Amino acid sequence: MKTDPDRQSTALHREARIPAGLRALYTLALDLIFPPRCACCGRVDTVLCDHCADELVRGDIILLPPMPPIHSGAACGKYAGSLRSAIHALKYESDYSTAQRLALPLGQRMAAVFAQLAWKIDIVVPVPLHTSRLRERGYNQSMLLGVHVAHQFDLPVVPDAVTRLRSTASQVGRSSAERERALKDAFAAQPHLVDGQILLLIDDVCTTGATLRACAQAALNAGARQVTCLTLASA
């Protein structure tokens, strides 16, 4: 359930005042009043049921159309059905522990697709959120996904390699040209982290590719050798 930031912050403060011993009881009481529901099928009492988790792990390779300056790009499914529901819940309806639970099968799906791509990669770089968005959400969903890929292939995750300098308003409903303009110079990369490296950018959804391309350009400007990208879904 999406709550507005003010109410969310009030709720967090209320929770912070509860002694640690009572917090589990508080969570239990909340679960009784508002039982968790599977993000995909709505089944009660779990944030993700076993059936939907099994389904989310299985993905297909969708090669993304050319998005210069990105060398190669792939997604792990269409932004539809249970994958869409899971991504929406991961981004907009989760606390940190729910997000981690959802990111597990989704990250495994990305790792399975990455294994088939046989790309040579030096570092895994989650597409960054602006610090204000990160504070509001409490986690970067691309980071939660990227760690699964990195862990499985023994690659370093370098979340600070690319940072978001400007908070861009929601890109939903904007044309490709409008997105490009809004994202120009929105990212910067750290030369000492990307110089000579082949990056794997990780993001949840590729819509027009404008965000990924802007990140890639920032990394290349800072000396990266090549940038590829893997997203969970392609819209």
Residues that bind Zn ion (CB under 5 A): 38, 40-41, 43, 49, 52
> Is 52 or 189 the residue whose CB approaches Zn ion more closely?
52
Nearer to Zn ion, 103 or 143 (CB): 103
CA within 13 Å, CB half, 101: 19
How far apart are CB 46 and Zn ion at their closest, in Å? 7
CB of residue 102 to Zn ion, shortest distance in Å: 11
- 231: Cβ contacts below 8 Å, ≥ 6 apart: 64, 73, 74, 75, 76, 202, 203, 204, 205, 206, 212
In the complex, least distance from residue 234 CB atom to Zn ion, rounded to whole angstroms:
23
Tell me how far, at minimum, the Cβ of 101 lies from Zn ion, in Å: 12
HSE at residue 94, side-chain half, CA atoms within 13 A, is 25
For Zn ion, the closer CB: 55 or 180: 55
Closer residue to Zn ion in complex, CB, 47/143: 47
CB 232 within 8 A of CB 205: yes
Nearer to Zn ion, 49 or 121 (CB): 49
CB 102 within 8 A of CB 47: yes
For Zn ion, the closer CB: 52 or 123: 52
Minimum CB distance to Zn ion, residue 120 (Å): 37
Count CB atoms within 10 A of the CB of residue 132.
10
Structure tokens at 37: 């529901």
Q: How far is CA 148 from CA 42, 108, 112, 126, 128, in A?
A: 25, 6, 10, 11, 17
Tokens 């009481």 correspond to what residue? 29
Q: Cis omega (within 30 of 0) on the bond before 159?
A: no
For the bound state, the minimum distance from the C-beta of residue 92 to Zn ion, rounded and expressed in Å, comes to 18
